[in-house]
Amino acid sequence: MDLSGSGGGAELPNNSQSYQSEESKPLLEDTEGGCGGNNSGKAGGGPCRRAALLGGCGMRYKLLQEGDIQVCVLKHPRTFLSKILASKFLRRWEPHHLSLGDSGLASATPTGYMESSLSYSAIEDLQPLSWDNAPKYCLQLSVPGGTVLLQAANSYLRDQWFHSLQWKKKIYKYRKVLKNPTRWEVVLKEIRALVDMALTSPLQDESIQQAPLHIISTLLSENTNLSAQEHENIIVAIAPLLENNHPPPDLCEFFCKHCRERPRSMVVIEVFTPVVQRILKHNMDFGKCPRLRLFTQEYILALNELNGGMEVVKKFVHSMHGPTGQCPHPRVLPNLVAVCLAAIYSCYEEFINSRDNSPSLKEIRNGCQQQSERKPPLPLRLLRTELESPDPPTAPPPLPPLPSLPLSPPPSIVNSSEILVELERNNNTANKLKGPAGGDSEPNLIDCLLVSPTLSALSIQLPAQADRVLGCFALILKMLSDYDDWRPALASLLQPIPFPKEALAHAKFTKELKYVIQRFAEDPRQEVHSCLLSVRSGKDGWFQLYSPGGMACDDDGELFASMVHILMGSCYKTKKFLLSLAENKLGPCMLLALRGNQTMVEILCLMLEYNIIENKDTQLQIISTLESTQVGLRMYEQLCDRQRELKELQRKGGPTRLTLPSKSTDADLARLLSSGSFGNLENLSLAFTNVTSACAEQLIKLPSLKQLNLWSTQFGDAGLRLLSEHLASLQVLNLCETPVTDAGLLALSSMKSLCSLNMNSTKLSADTYEDLKAKLPNLKEVDVRYTEAW
């Protein structure tokens, strides 16, 4: 918008000239002199007077980006005729849809008064009209050569337009002032004024406090040669804005640099602590802003550099959890775990890059490496070529032919430059890496680690700084596992083993993490210790990693025995679990049983009882192992007695229908079934008794059972899992008013003979119901009343 002409405005009253031009005011005075201040001068009284005109300081407004408004332009009159044409009776108003951009006002229909945009730099002053007989709800924009009037529909819209225009104009000026700084003491004053303006603005919008942070972030990214004191002064100046806002990415880089260079600065404790606490409590996805995670990581490392070291870190973790037994912030644990995983990954990044030529985290963040430049991943083998000759050359030797590589070099320290990628050419080894189906399944984690027999003798040596980082964040994982309310979620997050292979091959890391796995194995809650197993079939879990023969096992199987004990004591007395032990861990089980471990003795007895072992020689070896210890001999004799009772129980004869009296218990059922033969029993009713999942041990001994009524009992998920594996011929099952959930009901999908199923008043979900219908083709009668699926 170009307005020509000069001179005073005839239609504007004299008191409008009392406002000082905003373009000539220093920026530091824009936010000074509040409504309660002592403003005696004309320039100082401007803000307070405008606030009074706008109806007080308590109103809040949303920042406008666009809107409809009436526009009128008054050029400064030069002749008497132009004064008449500019009078209020002859003014022409135009409706426009204006957009408030970063640099000026623009109309969606650039015609008439708004044919060209109006730059914020051209606006000399901005105020509401206040003289007598002025048009209602108008704003006056003083520009060179005239005045622009904006008329809103009501007073609230007028005030909203006023504060939005004022904010846009000031932000535009601050961007210009802070773009090319010369004197940093002046810049610091301007930053403080910018922060004060954002804090005192009546506008309520996320961008009100984010815009100053982005301006300062850009300033710091373009001026990297600041002194440490200037760093601290800027951080302290912007601290109030960080109380309710995440720092932008460039500002995070600035904070990270300060944490690395001055970890003992008081700014780290006083300013960064509330910022990091807010990030951990409210951040939803570090993937959208990885620099937030990096800043949190550097902050924790700075705490570790203080005199208290890990004690300070421990107090910080405790402050994030809170004094109560339940952390009130659900995002704290996932965010802390994400920071720990990223920090641990960074310790082995150099090894990983040497292994598979993958881009580093820094390259990924900066986008330096194109996708086409990356080499495809290859099967791995950690080998050291320097051991091939006693006199290593000064220059790095070329990769020797694969057949000449030694298979069993002596123990050595492997540096990142010594880890080579070898393409596996041996078909036998390649077939070994394939899954049990023999297809193109991904090799197991343990198999990848055991490709070369040299790996068990190798140890990875980290640089001193990486070693400190690893120790710090491994200890944080140990701290997290000590909180009972965090342990279930932590176990779930770590169940997929989200660590690089190099970390799992590093003895120090697996030794540190052993404490966490031990805490999982000691927790009686199924949702915790079940995470020791693999996340899905065909993959390895912590149970395999820390079992004898696994890369992380550094004892004689004590942790393995503890894990088996807690799993067997829960609901894993299943054929599938025992079969996996028999196929993969029979040797360690027999060794521990030979040393008198009661859990392993029980495992071997169950393998014999459920006919898990088919090979006769292996059965005889297990029997010999059991008879070699007193506890094993006693349990084997009990097994033989049970087998004789089982043969008697399953002998043909006895009733075909049986109903237990109400209030009968598990012991009553066991006593009844041990009193005679029940080989012909087809219909058993335990309705309204006090039996629990423990009676499933007796029910699976009934080979002819076809109908089972468990109405209003305490039979739960663990019992259902056992029934689903042993009673394949069951046709009718009544679970009405039992405490079963989806976890147990899903196991029924293997009972293909079921034709009638009553799940009335259970915790059945709609998804599980649909899954059961799809997997049970013979199911004809179903009762799902009073469930979610009803």
Instruction: Give the Cα separation of 258 and 252 in Å (integer).
Output: 10
Instruction: Give the Cα separation of 167 and 510 in Å (integer).
Output: 55
Tell me which residue of 191, 204, 195 sits closest to 231, measured CA to CA: 191
Tally of CB atoms within 10 A around 554: 12
Tell me which residue of 27, 48, 26 sits closest to 37, measured CA to CA: 48
297-330 exposure pattern, b = at least 16 Cβ within 10 A, e = fewer? bbbbbbbbbeeeebebbbebbeebbeeeeebeee
CA dihedral 565, 567, 571, 574 (to 10 degrees): -90
* pTM to 2 decimal places: 0.67
Predicted local confidence at residue 611, as pLDDT: 86
Predicted local confidence at residue 666, as pLDDT: 92
Predicted local confidence at residue 40, as pLDDT: 35
3-class secondary structure, 736: coil
Instruction: Give the Cα separation of 705 and 708 in Å (integer).
Output: 7
Instruction: Give the Cα separation of 205 and 188 in Å (integer).
Output: 25
Instruction: Give the Cα separation of 343 and 331 in Å (integer).
Output: 18
**Eight-class DSSP state of 401:** P
SS3 assignment for 419-480: CCCCCCCCHHHHHHHCCCCCCCCCCCHHHHHCCCHHHHHEEECCCHHHHHHHHHHHHHHHHH
Over residues 115-174, the pLDDT tens digits come to 999 999 999 999 887 655 666 888 989 898 888 889 999 989 999 999 999 999 999 988
Instruction: Give the Cα separation of 101 and 286 in Å (integer).
Output: 30
Predicted local confidence at residue 88, as pLDDT: 59
Predicted local confidence at residue 137, as pLDDT: 86
Which segments of the chain have a pLDDT < 70? 1-58, 77-90, 130-135, 355-459, 570-573
Q: What angle do CA 685, 691, 695 make, to 5 degrees?
A: 90
SS3 assignment for 302-360: HHHCCCCCHHHHHHHHHHHHCCCCCCCCCCHHHHHHHHHHHHHHHHCHHHHHHHHCCCC
Instruction: Give the Cα separation of 168 and 104 in Å (integer).
Output: 8
* Residue in the structure block whose two tokens are 């005839």: 10
Q: State both tokens at 112.
A: 């008439």
Predicted local confidence at residue 441, as pLDDT: 43
Predicted local confidence at residue 5, as pLDDT: 38
Instruction: Give the Cα separation of 371 and 200 in Å (integer).
Output: 47
In angstroms, what CA-CA distances link 193 with 60, 466, 486? 21, 41, 43
Question: Which residues are registered as beta bridge partners of 685?
Answer: 659, 709
Instruction: Give the Cα separation of 523 and 525 in Å (integer).
Output: 6
* Residue in the structure block whose two tokens are 């042993």: 726
Instruction: Give the Cα separation of 666 and 696 in Å (integer).
Output: 9
Predicted local confidence at residue 335, as pLDDT: 96
| Under 8 Å between Cβ of 259 and 301 | yes
Phi, psi of 683 (to 5 degrees): -130, 115
Phi, psi of 706 (to 5 degrees): -120, -25
Predicted local confidence at residue 512, as pLDDT: 93
The DSSP string of 52-74 is: HHTT-S---BPPPSEEEEEEEEE
Over residues 370-403, the pLDDT tens digits come to 443 444 433 333 333 333 334 444 444 443 333 3
